[in-house]
């Protein structure tokens, strides 16, 4: 399963890339709005840092505007994947952009029916928002498993990109369900590394080693 970073912070992304576990980045207008400077320049820097797919979202709300904005975003760097919100306008824009050979990530997907429609119009990625479904007492991961099943049934090439991830349990479940990508906030990536027994085990190995050096002197 590919791991993307769900962030628009260039410094954070540059810190994570050397770990060699990051395959791409997802941004959205909320994340980019938190960063200083020109958003297009920020996206260009993220593309250079990660060298993999970087989702950049349109803010137009009509299909024509989304297509025009999507083309501008795609011209920033070959790694840009244009993100469009699900809906009639987003579906139309996705079809047009995919027809131009531009990769599209259909976002704000909350039902298997929406995931099916996004795949039919050639989305490269579809983003089910699992955490926001959990927030309204609905099983977000159930949407992931149904989307994976539907895409397998019809051999759609659209990749299921699990988004709105809140913790390691979402990541592990995504991998067990065969999701293609999980996009994680940086703090969740940190959590994936941590286990108290690893820390305790390492401390004991080092303490035992130190004791042996004292005895042998």
Q: 79 vs 203, which CB is nearer to ligand G3P?
A: 79
Q: 65 vs 167, which CB is nearer to ligand G3P?
A: 167
- Minimum CB separation of residue 156 from ligand G3P in Å reads 21
- Minimum CB separation of residue 28 from ligand G3P in Å reads 4
Q: Residue 21's CB: how many other CB atoms inside 10 A?
A: 13
Q: Residue 29's CB: how many other CB atoms inside 10 A?
A: 13
- The DSSP line for 119-157 is HHTT-SEEEEBHHHHHHTTS-HHHHHHHHHHHHHHHT--
Closest CB to ligand G3P: residue number: 164
- Residue numbers at the binding site for ligand G3P (CB under 6 A): 6, 26, 28, 129, 131-132, 163-164, 183
Instruction: Please provide the distance, in angstroms rounded to a whole number, between the alpha carbons at the two ends of the chain.
Output: 49
Report the catalytic residues. 83
Count Cβ neighbours within 10 Å for each residue of 108-141 and write b for 16 or more, e otherwise. bbbebebbbbbbebbbbbbbbbbeebeeeeeebb
- Minimum CB separation of residue 171 from ligand G3P in Å reads 12
- Minimum CB separation of residue 164 from ligand G3P in Å reads 3
Q: 158 vs 183, which CB is nearer to ligand G3P?
A: 183
Give how far the C-alpha of residue 149 lies from the chain's centroid of Cα atoms, to the nearest Å: 20
Q: 82 vs 163, which CB is nearer to ligand G3P?
A: 163
């Amino acid at each position: 399963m590919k791991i993307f970073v769900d962030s628009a912070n260039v410094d954070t992304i540059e810190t994570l890339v050397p770990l060699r576990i990051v395959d791409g980045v997802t941004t959205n207008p909320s994340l980019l709005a938190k960063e200083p400077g020109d958003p297009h320049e920020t996206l260009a820097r993220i593309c250079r840092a990660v060298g993999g797919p970087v989702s950049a979202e349109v803010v137009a709300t009509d299909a024509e505007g989304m297509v025009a904005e999507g083309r501008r975003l795609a011209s920033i760097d070959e790694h840009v994947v244009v993100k469009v919100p699900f809906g009639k306008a987003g579906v139309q824009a996705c079809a047009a952009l995919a027809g131009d050979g531009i990769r599209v990530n259909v976002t704000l997907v909350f039902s298997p029916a929406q995931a099916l429609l996004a795949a039919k119009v050639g989305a490269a990625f579809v983003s089910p928002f699992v955490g926001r479904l959990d927030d309204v007492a609905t099983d977000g991961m159930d949407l992931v498993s149904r989307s994976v099943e539907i895409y397998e049934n019809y051999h759609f090439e659209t990749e299921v990109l699990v988004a709105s991830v809140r913790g390691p349990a979402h990541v592990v479940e995504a991998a067990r369900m065969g999701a293609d990508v999980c996009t994680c906030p940086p703090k969740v990536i940190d959590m994936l590394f941590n286990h108290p027994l690893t820390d305790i085990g390492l401390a004991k190995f080092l303490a035992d080693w130190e004791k042996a050096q004292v005895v042998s002197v």
